[in-house]
Amino acid sequence: MTYRFLSSLPRGGAAVPATFLVLVASPVLAQSSPAPPLPLGIAMEEYAYPYPVRYLPLTIDGEPTRMAYMDIPPTKVANGRAVVLLHGKNFYGAYWRNTVAALTDAGYRVVVPDQIGFGKSSKPDIAYSFHLLAHNTATLLDTLKIAKVSVVGHSMGGMLAVRFARTYPNRTERLVLENPIGLEDYRLFVPPQTLESLTDAEYKQTPETYRKYVASYFVSYPPGQYEPFVTVRTRIAQSGEFDRWAKSSARTFQMIYEQPVRYEFGAITVPTLLVIGQEDRTVVGKNLVSPERLKTVGQYPELGKTAAEDIPNSRLVALPNVGHIPHLEAPVQFHAALLDFLK
């Protein structure tokens, strides 16, 4: 286990894929005013990803589904190695765009799935589990004839990455956890929630409340850079299938809450890198925690150190003045640490 703080490299923002607002002219006002964004299907059919999207058909609990993914070849001399990037709960594969570019430029083949229940993938009403998502990811790699892979997981994707590495240690070369959630057991301080209450919370979300929520992930990332996440969520909420999306989101919250991976860190057998933005205070179910208790949880500087102590053969890179998503807010530092670890 080694600790390292990165602060000397220049920081830079990375634009996420842009969505657009349709402007209409008002017959009364002298200037145009923005109309509500157009609805977006829950499979994000009209949302452009940075690389071609393909689909893997899967049958889950007897229900036909399909898993969206991007498979990007190296743009420079291939090194014969592959990396899979696992997204967080409130995100989808497209936000890995600049990380894909950094990796393919270094010779890696990169696979970026949208997990079932997220992004362009199906949203079945099933009992979600990290075992299922890890199995689906392994099935995708089998289909692509990728025997071994380095696994990079952000936020919820970090929990999934741990589950994948624990389930498939012989095909996991290296493990990278970027501000993973699940560094603490949320059941110890977040009261359990019913599926109905969690689904209802999705309906109560407004553009304003969601914008504030997304803003809490960052320290200095420009609002214009993360506004597309808000626009996508707002457009999906207008979909005729939003109820299915909301239930899927509620069920994946329950998955995170009910299936901690924290207690398995000591059993991880592959070399592991933790990249931790030091200003992150993410807590799953934060709005359900008392103000006094909230002062003692979600403390990523301490959580990162403890995780690094518990995971054998691990390395911790701490990023000062960075929040929950280093690969967007501090891409230069993040990609430098990632490439140095993978080489």
* pLDDT value at 11 more than 50: no
Task: Identify the pLDDT of residue 34.
Answer: 62
* pLDDT confidence tier of residue 53, bands split at 50, 70 and 90: very high
Can you state the angle between helices 156-167 and 130-143, rounded to 10 degrees? 70
Give the Cα separation of 341 and 157 in Å (integer): 19
DSSP label of 65: E
What confidence category does residue 74 fall into, taking pLDDT thresholds of 50, 70 and 90?
very high
- Dump pLDDT digits (tens) for 174-196: 999 999 999 999 999 999 999 99
DSSP element (H, E) containing 249? helix 242-258
Assess whether pLDDT exceeds 70 at residue 16.
Answer: no
* Per-residue pLDDT at 325 exceeds 80: yes
pLDDT at 292: 95
For residue 63, the tally of other CB atoms under 10 A from its CB is 11
Q: Could you confirm whether domain 2-11+42-342 is CATH 3.90.870.10?
A: no
State the average pLDDT over residues 291-308: 98
The residue type of 274 is L
User: pLDDT confidence of 38, banded at 50, 70, 90?
Assistant: very high
Task: Please say if the pLDDT value at position 7 is more than 80.
Answer: no
Q: Give the confidence band of 37 by pLDDT, cuts at 50, 70, 90.
A: confident
Q: How confident is the model at residue 52 (pLDDT cuts 50, 70, 90)?
A: very high
E-assigned strand segments in the chain: 2-5, 23-24, 33-34, 54-60, 63-72, 82-86, 109-113, 149-154, 172-178, 272-277, 314-319
Domain ranges of the chain: 2-11+42-342
d(CA 45, CA 180): 28
Write the pLDDT tens digit of every residue in 214-265.
999 999 999 999 999 999 999 999 999 999 999 999 999 999 999 999 999 9
Q: H/E element holding 80?
A: none
